[in-house]
Structure 1
Amino acid sequence: MIAIGNFFFKYRNFLFIFLYLALFIPSPKVFRPEALGTAYYLWPIVLGLLITVSGQLIRGLTIGLAYIVRGGRDKKVYADKLVTEGVFNHCRNPLYVGNILMLLGVGILSNSLLFLAVFMPLFLFIYQAIVLAEENFLRKKFGADFSAYCSRVNRWLIKFNGLGQTMKSMRFNAKRWVLKEYNTQYVWLAGIVLLLLLNYPEVTRGDTGLRNTLLTVALVVVTALYLFVRYLKKSGKMVD
């Protein structure tokens, strides 16, 4: 598993591109009108948005309180120090938990049985392998400190006890959240817009012209915000 994790660590960014494209593969539906009635589409929309937004909130809170560099070095797992503060004091992999919830949420929003039954389990397997590879590196580098950290903090389940106190004791860096997340936010929001307007004609009551107009406007707005933040970052006018 560690060897598999090291392999996928190199290509994990391409993994997300592949999984987002998989959302649009034709598939049998999970939520169907014959089972839930004419308002069946509200189930995947509401449930999917709640889950995916919760994932983004977890990522935002984690990055805003205590950022951890997950990029590695030379496409290999690497860490300068052991980060245990912020949300990392309540879960060893809160960023990955956020990613899982974000992807699960858009999977439900896509109403794709194929995605939820095949691609999500594959994604979870790959993430488990990556985490095991990271833990192997951290255990070798930080030894007893990492072992002690593992003994008191869960790998996946977030311990909410004391989280409020953690938030009060630290300063939330909103700029860092925006600067580190704008790429992820853009792909995520654009994906949500596409899924809502392409998969659910009920949203515009079957009006294709209105759907196309809303789709265009939403994508233009999201892209403009993305380019604006990118400009602020690259120009040095916005730093964390």
Structure 2
Amino acid sequence: MKTLMIQLGNFFFRYRNQFFPAIILALFILVPPSTEMWGSGTANLLKTAAAIAVVLAGLALRTVVVGYAYIKRGGLNKRVYAKDLVTEGMFGVCRNPLYVGNMLVYTGIFLLHGNPLVIAIGVGLFAFMYQCIVYAEEVFLEQNFGEAYRAYCRDVPRWALRLENFRHSIDGMSFNFKRVVAKDYSTVSAALLAILATEMYRFAIAENLEHQRSYLLVLAALMALVGMATALVSHFKKHGAFREPKTSL
């Protein structure tokens, strides 16, 4: 079973940028979002607030990870690859903190959708796919870093956050906000657009659409604002605004 999961992990790693959004889109099209939860507007409002909080928690975790120690997750030629074994920053707290952040983001988006079946299938499927990717990465890392990686695995959990390690892991490091903006702005943008699009979808299919028009206009305006902010950050990035100065040896 694990051998099959490793093979699937290499596939998911290579095509995740196309495959993951397609899965979300397919689930949302097949099962429209819930317009009311347990027949209660208050319960629905609490569910929406909880979903957004989970998404923001995932983005916050990613911010801390990238701000202290960034590793290139794109691999090499879309294959699992790592030049160095990164164990500092949040990687001293959890071996896969970026993936934990991603799972929180996806969980929040599925929760925002609100249909119990979509939540169960979506969260379960993404958890399985990330576990496959992690198995594939672990094979590569053990083959290339040997005992150093095995010792790292003994000290740091795969998925849990061992927060007591945090202070020691960032000792001597400084938080790099420019790197966070440069490396993670597209993820933040995608998460915000997903929240807004899900809300628009949910209210567009609700009854009494006439009473929802003003809210839909607000959501559309926010989507346009996020899009413009993303384009602005991309423009500044292309012109070197977030480029890190080279350190001389």
Q: After TM superposition, is the score higher than 0.5? A: yes
Residue in structure 2 matched with residue 181 of structure 1 by the alignment? 184
Matching residue within 214, 227, 230 for 2:231: 227
CA 1:136–1:144: 2 relative to 1, 3 Å: same
In the superposition, the TM-score normalised over structure 2's length comes to 0.87
Q: Which moved more, 1:106-115 or 1:77-86?
A: 106-115
User: Which residue of structure 2 aligns with residue 32 of structure 1?
Assistant: 37
Aligned match of 1:60 in 58, 63, 69?
A: 63
Asked if the contact 1:62–1:87 (Cα under 8 Å) also holds between the matched residues in 2, the reply is yes
Alpha-carbon separation, structure 2, partners of 1:102 and 1:23: 16
Q: Residue 195 of structure 2 aligns with which residue?
A: 192
For 1:1-240, list aligned pairs within 5 A.
1-22=5-26, 24-25=28-29, 26-27=31-32, 29=34, 32-34=37-39, 37-164=40-167, 166-167=169-170, 169-200=172-203, 207-240=211-244
- Unaligned residue ranges in structure 2 (runs of 5+): 245-249
Deviations 1:199-227 (CA, angstroms, capped at 9, x unpaired): 2579x996333123212210111011000
Q: Secondary structure at the match of 2:160?
A: coil
Superposition deviation, residue 31 in structure 1: 6.7
Please report the RMSD computed on the Cα atoms of aligned residues, expressed in angstroms: 2.3
Matches of 2:19 and 2:210, distance apart in 1: 34
1:119: how far off? 2.2
More off after superposition, 43-52 vs 95-104: 43-52
- The answer to whether the 8 A contact 1:33-1:39 is kept is no
The answer to whether the Cα contact below 8 Å between 2:203 and 2:212 also exists between their aligned partners in 1 is no
- List per-residue Cα deviations over 1:137-169 (Å, max 9, x = no partner): 000000000000000000000101142454564
Segments of structure 1 that go 5 or more residues without pairing to the other structure are: none
CA contact under 8 A between 1:90 and 1:158: conserved in structure 2? yes
The residue type paired with residue 32 of structure 1 is M
Contact 1:30/1:112 (<8 A) preserved: no
Residues 137 and 11 of structure 1: CA distance in aligned 2, closer, same or farther (over 3 Å): same
Aligned-pair identity (%): 37
- Per-residue deviation, 1:49: 1.2
Distance (Å, rounded) in 2 between the aligned partners of 1:27 and 1:237: 41
